[in-house]
Structure 1
Amino acid sequence: MKFIKAHATENDFVVLIDVDDHNDVTPDQVAFLCDRRAGVGGDGLLRVVRRDGTWFMDYRNADGSVAEMCGNGIRAFAHVLVAEGLEDAREFYVDTRAGVKHIRVLSADSTDAVVAVGMGAVEVTGVSTASMGDHQFAGLGVNVGNPHLACVIPGLTAAGLADMNFVAPTFDPEFFPEGTNVEVLTELRDGQTHMRVWERGVGETRSCGTGTVAAAQAVLADAGVEHGTVTVNVPGGAVEVELNEGQATMTGPSTIVFRGELSS
C-alpha cells in the first residue's frame, strides 16, 4: 500500500491511500506505523477513502484509537488529494466522524499547500479545570467535533509558556467522560495567542488543528469578544482561525515530507 508522510504545522501523519476502502487497519497496526523508532512515525494516521462518492478521512490517534476529527490532519488530507491527482477541484467536501467539512485549497503543489477548512459549529460546553504537574488551570470546555479544555492563563507570556513543564494532565472525568485535549494559552494580544497542547491518545504535539479553534474561542471569550479572527501560534507554526456566528474557519499550511510503499 502506498503511503505519504505529511505534516501540518508539524502535527505529522502517516497517510494511507486506500481509495477503494479495501485495507482497514487495526489499532496495533496504527500504533506500529506511528511508532517513531520502529515504524514510519507520526502523531496519527489518516486513511484516504472514497465512500458513496464522497471523500472520507479515517483518522486514528498514534495509540491506535479512533478519533472523530483532526483539523491539521484534514488540511494534510486535502493536500494529498490534490497533490496525488485524486481530486481535480480546489473546493470540495470531506466527510469525517465529526461531520462533513468544506475544503478550499488556496494553493498546492507536490510538497506545499495552504488549505482553508470550514470546521463547522463550535460549542461551548461549560467551565472546568485541569492539573498539570504543579499547575492548576481553569478553562473553557469547547466541542469542535471532539472535546477540548482551553485554558487561558492570565499574565502568561509566550516565553513562560515555552518554559512550562508540560506533562500529562488530569481533568474531571465526569465533565469529559471520553477524555479531552487540553490547551494552555496566553491571553489575546494584537489578534494573537500562543498555545501548547496535550492531545488525547497522543501526548504533547507540535500543533492541534481542532485545538487552535478551541483556543480561538477561549481567548475571544476571555477578551469579551464574540466574533473575530485569531492567529494561533503553536510550536510548529501558526494558523488563522475565524469565528463568526458560532462557525469556525481554519486556514493553514500543509507539507508533504516523503512518499513510500509499505512492504506488508
Structure 2
Amino acid sequence: MRFTKGHGTGNDFILVDESVELSQDLVAALCDRRFGIGGDGVLRVARQGDLFFMDYWNSDGSLAEMCGNGVRVFARYLWEEGLITGSSVAVATRAGVRTAYLEWDGIRVDMGAPKLLGTSDGGLAISMGNPHLVYEVSNVDKIDLSTAPAFDEAFFPEGVNVSYYEWVGDDHDHVRMRVYERGSGETLSCGTGASAVGVAALNAKGQQVGAVIVDVPGGRLRVTVDEQTSWLSGPAVLVANGHLDVASLSGRPANPAEHPWPATRPRAQR
C-alpha cells in the first residue's frame, strides 16, 4: 500500500488512494504510533462525481464529517501529486463541499457558515459541519485532557469535540487553545476546532464578524468570519511518502504473550 504522511500545524494524517479499502481495524492499526505509521487520522483520496472526496477517518477507526486541517493537507496532496491545477480546488466532504485556495504562506479554506447551537454545560455549542463545545478559561495549560471531557450526551448524541481557549494580550484578537477531538483524543491542532474557537471568541466580544489568531500546540492558524462564511488559513505540509505491507500490521498486543516474537530465542554465542 502506497501512503503519504502530512500534517497541518501538527495535526497529522496518513493519505491513501481510493484503491485502499479502509475498515475500522485497519485505520486504527495504521494510526497506531508504535505499531503502525502513526497519525490523528486517515485521509482516503476518493472521487465523488467530478470532485475529489476527502474520505476522513479518525484514529480510532470512526468516520468523521469534516476536518479543517485535513482539507488543507488533502488539497496540498492534490497539488503536489499533479492531480489538479490552478490555485483553488473544491473538495467534497461528509459535511458538504469545502473550497481550498493556495496562497503564498499556506492554504486557506472556506469552512462554511458556523451554526451557533446554544449553550451546554457552560460552554458554547457550535457546528462547523461537525459538533464542537467551546469553553473560555483563564489558563488552557491547567486543563486535564488525559481523558475525554464530560459532556451532555443528550445534547451531543454523536459525541463532540471539546475545546478550551484563553486570551493572549489585551487586544482580544489572539487566543491560545487546546482540544480533545472526538475519536482521536488530544491533538496538536484541530482545524474545525480552531474555527469554532474563533467564532466563540468573536461571540464573547459581541461580534458576529472579524478575525482571530488562534495558537494551537502545533503552530498558528487564522480564523476569519464574514457575513457569509468562515475561513481557516494555515500551513499544510507533506513530509514523507512510503510503501507499507499491510500484512505486517500485527496490531497492539493485548498482553506480552501475544507478541509475534517467539517466547524463547537462541542464546547468543560469545
TM-score by length of 1: 0.89
2:117 matched residue in structure 1: 125
* Residue 53 of structure 1, CA deviation: 1.6
1:6 matched residue in structure 2: 6
> Residue type matched to 1:118 in 2?
D
> Given that residues 183 and 211 in structure 1 are in contact (C-alpha distance below 8 angstroms), is that contact kept between their aligned partners in structure 2?
yes
1:106 matched residue in structure 2: 103
Q: 1:165 aligns with which of 141, 144, 154?
A: 144
1:141 matched residue in structure 2: 125
* Residue 17 of structure 1, CA deviation: 2.4
Query: Any gaps of 5 or more consecutive residues in structure 2?
Result: 247-270
1:262 matched residue in structure 2: 244
1:88 matched residue in structure 2: 85
Query: Any gaps of 5 or more consecutive residues in structure 1?
Result: 108-112, 130-137
2:30 matched residue in structure 1: 33
> Given that residues 122 and 246 in structure 1 are in contact (C-alpha distance below 8 angstroms), is that contact kept between their aligned partners in structure 2?
no
Larger relative strand fraction: 1
Question: For 1:166 and 1:36, how far apart are their aligned partners in 2?
Answer: 19
Please state if 1:195 is matched with 2:177. Answer: yes
> Residue type matched to 2:145 in 1?
F
> Residue type matched to 2:158 in 1?
E
* Residue 51 of structure 1, CA deviation: 2.5
> Residue type matched to 1:35 in 2?
D
1:61 matched residue in structure 2: 58
* Residue 102 of structure 1, CA deviation: 1.1
Q: 1:174 aligns with which of 143, 154, 164?
A: 154
Question: For 2:51 and 2:145, how far apart are their aligned partners in 1?
Answer: 39
Give the 4+ runs in structure 1 shifted more than 4 A: none
> Given that residues 68 and 192 in structure 2 are in contact (C-alpha distance below 8 angstroms), is that contact kept between their aligned partners in structure 1?
yes
Q: Could you say what the CA RMSD is over the residues aligned between the two structures, in angstroms?
A: 1.3
> Residue type matched to 1:25 in 2?
L
> Residue type matched to 1:81 in 2?
L
- 1:11-30 paired onto structure 2 within 5 Å: 11-18=11-18, 22-30=19-27
> Given that residues 12 and 44 in structure 1 are in contact (C-alpha distance below 8 angstroms), is that contact kept between their aligned partners in structure 2?
yes
> Residue type matched to 2:10 in 1?
E
> Residue type matched to 2:111 in 1?
M
The count of corresponding residues between Structure 1 and Structure 2 is 243
2:67 matched residue in structure 1: 70
Question: For 1:40 and 1:15, how far apart are their aligned partners in 2?
Answer: 11
> Residue type matched to 1:52 in 2?
G
Per-residue CA distance 1:101-127 (angstroms, 9 max, x = gap)? 1110114xxxxx711100011000000
Please state if 1:150 is matched with 2:142. Answer: no
Question: For 1:70 and 1:196, how far apart are their aligned partners in 2?
Answer: 16
* Residue 152 of structure 1, CA deviation: 1.1
* Residue 262 of structure 1, CA deviation: 2.1
Please state if 1:79 is matched with 2:76. Answer: yes
Give the % identical residues.
45
Per-residue CA distance 1:25-52 (angstroms, 9 max, x = gap)? 0100000000000100000000011231
Question: For 2:236 and 2:142, how far apart are their aligned partners in 1?
Answer: 27
Per-residue CA distance 1:134-191 (angstroms, 9 max, x = gap)? xxxx2100000000001112xx1xxx32243323201001111110000001137431
